[in-house]
Amino acid sequence: MTAPLRLMAVHAHPDDESSKGAATMARYVAEGVDVLVCTLTGGERGSILNPKMDRPEILANIAEVRRQEMERAREILGVRQQFLGFVDSGLPENEDEELPEGCFAVQPLQVAAAPLVAAVREFRPHVILTYDDDGGYPHPDHIMTNRVSVEAFEAAGDPDRYPGTGDPWQPLKLYYHMGFTKERFEALHEAMTERGMGSPYAEWISRWEDRPQKWEVTTRVQCADYFDVRDRALLAHATQVDPDGFWFVCPTDLQAEVWPTEDYHLARSLVDTELPESDLFEGIHAADTADTAACR
């Protein structure tokens, strides 16, 4: 008998796990993979983005409300979830605006990474998912999430680093989310236009040169059967997601037909694998799932 495969998804705020890689996680849970979401902040400074939830009593207690939303989303996805205790930095309105004192994004790297190193050493994941070095979009917490994820991947297996955070464990692969690519949105736009549905993506595509794609897609995970699970988890974050908004404009069945995968960039690998991949665990053999094998 070997230990189950383990997947860790590292996110900045509650709701990020449901908008990035949720169908992938749901698929792997259904296949018996142990999945842990690590949420670095509580989302305390998030705005209420759903007009139906924009009420004073909710805004006054937003941190607790977002924890409750996270718990509902966790149950829907079938994953474990752990808050790592940092405070949301908020999204500055301009580049010159100073971030709040003590927030996640202003922490020294070793302070910010220590709880994640401890989580890696406790959970012992074979694969870690995170954002690219631009954060997926330039929110300071997303950028810091990339930095601490890379730091944890590289440090957790070294017994001389981060003493007091558990026995060393070396993850085998690190991926960046690549869900927001021009290729994907062009395909959805064309499909919706051909069906006379109208598309919300034309403006995005026209402005794509402002954000050229930095990383190539190396890995496409077939997970269309779990798009409905993804959407239910996303809707559980009711303060952040408008059910009549952008996320749900393209019908799920059309998404499944046109773009049935969630996509990733393989940023680090300690195992041999052949690109392109269709499985995050490609190259990780049964022997590597034993608790003694990946501590290298």
Would you list the domain boundaries of the chain? Answer: 6-178+215-289, 180-214
Mind listing the pLDDT tens digit of every residue in the chain (296 residues)?
467 999 999 999 999 999 999 999 999 999 999 999 999 999 999 889 889 898 888 888 999 999 999 999 999 999 999 999 999 999 987 777 899 999 999 999 999 999 999 999 999 999 999 999 998 888 999 999 999 999 999 999 999 999 999 999 999 999 999 999 999 999 999 999 999 998 888 888 888 776 667 899 999 999 999 999 999 999 999 999 999 988 899 999 999 999 999 999 999 999 999 999 999 999 996 545 555 444 55
Contact 33, 77 (CB under 8 A): no
Residues 6+ apart with CB under 8 A from 27: 221, 222, 223, 225, 226
For residue 262, the cross-strand partners are 221
Q: Which fold has domain 6-178+215-289?
A: Rossmann fold (3.40.50)
Annotated binding-site residue? 16: yes
Return the DSSP state at 70.
Answer: H
Annotated binding-site residue? 265: no
* Distance from C-alpha of 71 to C-alpha of 37, rounded to nearest angstrom: 11
Annotated binding-site residue? 139: no
* Distance from C-alpha of 74 to C-alpha of 78, rounded to nearest angstrom: 6
Q: Which run of H or of E encompasses 85?
A: strand 80-86
SS3 125: coil
pTM recorded for the entire structure: 0.94
